[in-house]
Structure 1
Amino acid sequence: MHLETPPAPITFRPFAGPADYPAMVACANASFAADGTGFFRTVDDVARDYASFTSCVPERDVWIADAGNEIAGYVRSWPWAQADGLQLYSQFAVVAPHWRRQGIGAALHAWLEERQRTQAATEYGSAPRHAHHAFVTQGETARAALLEKAGYTPERYFFTMVRPTLTDVADFPLPEGLELRPVQPDHYRAIWDAHCRAFQNHWGYCPLDDVDYLKWLQSPIFQPHLWQVAWDVHSHQVAGQVRTYIDAAWNQGNGRQRGWTEFISVGEPWRRRGLARALISHSLRAQAAAGMTESGLGVDSQNASGANRVYEDCGFGVDRRNCAYRKVLVV
């Protein structure tokens, strides 16, 4: 296999363990800042994530451009499958701004695609279809250009929406027959299952399993004291939910007090009755009570249930237009 190789002093190597975390974080945060993505990671964040991976083996699936006293860039690969059988191979990629335009990104990407082709042939050969997959945030123009040059095309657009204040929150009432209940530990599985059911027909849906559930229980965004969950008073089923969270590291890195109005779902029997708006209004008030001054969320730009309009009614506006790129992978 021929890979583009940039000038010395760069050498390429696999992930070497936790000792790499500080330099990886420095590289990633420099890349995020240069592209204006708003992302911010800490060593603790990366250590926690890498310890919990189930479909990615870092020693095998991470490739690093080593500049001696720093990491110039790195990529990470992991597989997942849509419910329709499409086998996907995702990627994370960063190059520090002062190391760009030297062929490092192209060399890392060539390694990543070769790794994914090998994995497709040796581990997922029975899958009916395969594709490389990359999520690109607005601002990552150099990465988008590299992907397009490599034959990737935009598959779907996603918006990051922001409500710039948490004042004047509209009071949308809960539909009749539903009530909010404080979240208890014996509710967790019902809440998880209801959300999975609500999303099973959405674009790109990936079925989740018990391992995913256990990881969710340990996630830093697992903050049930902020969640807004509506229950049907007659059937005692979860009708809808907003699993609000606060990312303290993101807020510190960006100098903001933003909460996240995320994991919004309404079960099919309770849709088109105003439940999502009611849950969002409760979520926004909970964020304000927790000291937040703004809120954000992500949404599929082609959401079939009209979520964009609902979020606009609740005071959110589009802040970023992000893109999922894909490229057919032939085994």
Structure 2
Amino acid sequence: MRPMAAGFVAPAIPGFGHRGVDRGRDPVEMADMSNRANAADDVDDRNSEAELRNWLLRETPHYDPATDLVVATVEGSMVAYAWVDWVDTTDGLREYRLGGCVDTAWRRRGIGRWLVRWGEARATELARARAADAGGRGLVLGTWTPEQRVGKRALFEQEGYRIVRWFHEMARYDLQAVELPPLPAGIEVRVPSADEIRTVYDADVEAFRDHWGGFDSSDEAYASFLNDPNLDRNLWVVAWAGDEVAGASINAISAAENAAREQPRGWLESVFVRRPWRGQGLASALVARSLERLAAAGMASAVLGVDSENPTGALRVYEKNGFVVERRAAAYRKPLVLG
């Protein structure tokens, strides 16, 4: 782990320290810590060790866990962790994104603030090192949080971050008697073969270039997508126009999340229609068929996330298909100034 910037002040906790990640041992404890924090904050998300290992220990051009992930300790025991990655956003910025988790037993002790400042220091190092390839983009720091995680929201607002976007988590509670709209002419729905997964993934990346935010579409990020323990292409609903992907709903079931719920639910993780096929009712057809597929897999309800200012009318499509807003999450940003 690279040293902290000069003058970086640690919390006034005896025995406080920090180190790099132990790839063999830490993911188990990180997943447990994250799940306990989510339960305490009334956040539904849960992660297995395998899931956390797949996304937090992956190496991509935008993130290196050897330098961009820190573990905070007290007397050698993990009490928190944090990470920084970056993306070039569709609104013309380069965003350095901060994330992390503090053990519920160690909250309100200054550790969260230390993690934020560690993240900002690391983001500043990265931004300076990558200044030549930023292409004149404005630099910002960012984070994302469920609305009900009030401690994190208060912390980031105290550190100068402001809400720039709201996202809705929408749910449909009844998967029975789903009406299936007809498919547009020339469109068929079928499960992709293993060899067609990349084709669907690339179509998803293309479609979401019209949406707010940013994402890592590197080959390494795709490898992480393939390694997701919840990946099951048999749950996907993919619309084909010949051998072209017109749109899809990439659906998934989280065993870790459902283990903590009374009734199992499935996710419509990414619903998209490519530009040539928009405005023909294809999105509604994909959503309805996804509900049918999740019901057949034994799910009692379905959930998805959507940008509250989605430019393609997705919110109306989901409401038409019986979804209601259940939770909200906020995207925060503040300028990153290189002194």
Q: Could you say whether these structures have the same fold, taking a TM-score greater than 0.5 normalized by the shorter chain as the test?
A: yes
5 Å-filtered alignment, 1:21-40, equals 21-40=27-46
Match of 1:299 among 281, 301, 306: 306
Q: TM-score, normalised by structure 2?
A: 0.90
Correspondence 1:212 to 2:221: yes
- Counterpart of 2:103, as a letter, is A
> In the alignment, is the contact (CA less than 8 A) between 1:200 and 1:207 conserved in 2?
no
Deviation digits for residues 80-105 of structure 1 (CA, Å, limit 9, x no counterpart): 22255522111211112221111111
> In the alignment, is the contact (CA less than 8 A) between 2:171 and 2:303 conserved in 1?
yes
- Counterpart of 2:110, as a letter, is G
Q: Which moved more, 1:204-213 or 1:265-274?
A: 204-213
> In the alignment, is the contact (CA less than 8 A) between 1:175 and 1:273 conserved in 2?
yes
Deviation digits for residues 161-202 of structure 1 (CA, Å, limit 9, x no counterpart): 111121121221212221112322343233223222222121
Instruction: Name 1:64's counterpart in structure 2.
Output: 71
Instruction: Point out where structure 2 has 5 or more consecutive residues left out of the alignment.
Output: 1-6
The verdict on how the C-alpha distance between 1:192 and 1:71 changes in structure 2, with shifts beyond 3 A counting, is same
Instruction: Name 1:309's counterpart in structure 2.
Output: 316
Q: How many residues are treated as equivalent by the alignment?
A: 329
Quote the offset at 1:300 in angstroms: 0.4
Instruction: Name 1:100's counterpart in structure 2.
Output: 107
Instruction: Name 1:191's counterpart in structure 2.
Output: 200
Q: Which moved more, 1:286-295 or 1:183-192?
A: 183-192
Correspondence 1:73 to 2:80: yes
For 1:183 and 1:108, the matched residues in 2 are separated by 42
Instruction: Name 1:43's counterpart in structure 2.
Output: 49
Instruction: Name 2:116's counterpart in structure 1.
Output: 109
> In the alignment, is the contact (CA less than 8 A) between 2:140 and 2:333 conserved in 1?
yes
Match of 1:222 among 218, 225, 231: 231
For 1:63 and 1:255, the matched residues in 2 are separated by 35
2:260 aligned counterpart, secondary structure: helix
Q: CA RMSD in A?
A: 2.0
> In the alignment, is the contact (CA less than 8 A) between 2:59 and 2:220 conserved in 1?
no
Quote the offset at 1:43 in angstroms: 2.2
> In the alignment, is the contact (CA less than 8 A) between 2:51 and 2:228 conserved in 1?
no
For 1:192 and 1:224, the matched residues in 2 are separated by 11
Q: Which moved more, 1:220-229 or 1:3-12?
A: 3-12
- Counterpart of 1:136, as a letter, is T
> In the alignment, is the contact (CA less than 8 A) between 1:228 and 1:279 conserved in 2?
yes
Q: Which moved more, 1:137-146 or 1:71-80?
A: 71-80
Match of 1:242 among 239, 249, 261: 249
Q: TM-score, normalised by structure 1?
A: 0.92
> In the alignment, is the contact (CA less than 8 A) between 1:16 and 1:59 conserved in 2?
no
Deviation digits for residues 268-312 of structure 1 (CA, Å, limit 9, x no counterpart): 121112111111111111111111111110100000111011001
Q: Which moved more, 1:185-194 or 1:245-254?
A: 185-194
For 1:120 and 1:24, the matched residues in 2 are separated by 27
> In the alignment, is the contact (CA less than 8 A) between 1:227 and 1:283 conserved in 2?
yes
